[in-house]
């Protein structure tokens, strides 16, 4: 739910992860596709700048750890999706949906 009080803390946690290449955080880079909260469960869908990104899995695991550390969240799941692909126009656009 987009109006859930835990949504913003989860987005804030994701904003704490800095892309080491660009210096932007995951949200500012436009790499977070969606954030869904159901009770104490958070489901996040993210992407990477290219499908074969060698850091994809490490970024996913890092995002999952950050979301799981949000008070009130007991179950965090972060998945990767690449369609439609990320483009530089996504930078600064925040969470896609």
Partner 1 sequence: MPGKHLARWTLSWFASALSFLLAALALAVPFAPAPGAWLEGRGLALVHLLALGWLSQMMIGASLQFLPVLLARPLPWPWLSPLSLALTGVGTILLALGFIGLEGGGTGLLALAPLPLGAGLGLFLLMAGGTLLPAGGWRDDAGRPVLLALAALILTFASGGGMALAGTGGPVAISPEALPFHVGLGVAGWLGLATAGVSYRLFAMFLIAPDGGGRLRRITAGAALCLTGLLTLGLGLAGHWPAPGWLLPAAMICASVTAGLYIADIAQVWRSRRRARPEVNMRMTRPALAFLALAALLAPVAAIDGRFAEAAVFAALVGWLSGLTLAQMVKITSFLTWIQVFSPRIGKQKLPQVHELVDDAACRRWLGLWFAGAALGTAALLAEHAQGLRLAFAVLLVAALGIAREVRAIRRLAHLSFAARPPVLPPLFLPQLRMDPT
**Site size with partner 1, rule: CB under 8 A:** 29
Site string (10-39) toward partner 1, x via CB under 8 A: ------xxx-xxxx----------------
Site string (42-61) toward partner 1, x via CB under 8 A: -------xxxxxxxxxxx-x
* Minimum CB distance to partner 1 smaller for 3 or for 89: 89
* Residue 71: CB minimum distance to partner 1, A: 16
Q: Is 64 in the site for partner 1 (CB under 8 A)?
A: yes
Alpha-carbon gap, residue 27 to 93, rounded angstroms = 8
For residue 12, give Cα distances in angstroms to 31, 35, 69, 73: 14, 11, 11, 13
Alpha-carbon gap, residue 36 to 45, rounded angstroms = 9
Reduced to 3 states (helix: H, G, I; strand: E, B; else coil), residue 40 is coil
Alpha-carbon gap, residue 74 to 97, rounded angstroms = 22
Q: Which residues bind partner 1 (CB under 8 A)?
A: 16-18, 20-23, 49-59, 61-66, 82, 87-89, 91
């Amino acid at each position: 739910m987009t109006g859930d009080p835990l949504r913003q803390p989860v987005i804030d946690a994701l904003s704490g992860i800095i892309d080491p290449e660009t210096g932007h955080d995951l949200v500012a880079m436009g790499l977070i596709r969606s954030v869904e909260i159901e009770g104490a469960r958070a489901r996040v869908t993210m992407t990477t700048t290219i499908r074969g990104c060698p850091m994809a899995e490490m970024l996913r695991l890092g995002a999952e750890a950050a979301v799981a550390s949000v008070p009130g969240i007991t179950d965090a799941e972060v998945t990767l999706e690449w369609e439609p692909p990320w483009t530089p126009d996504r930078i600064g656009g925040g969470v896609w949906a």
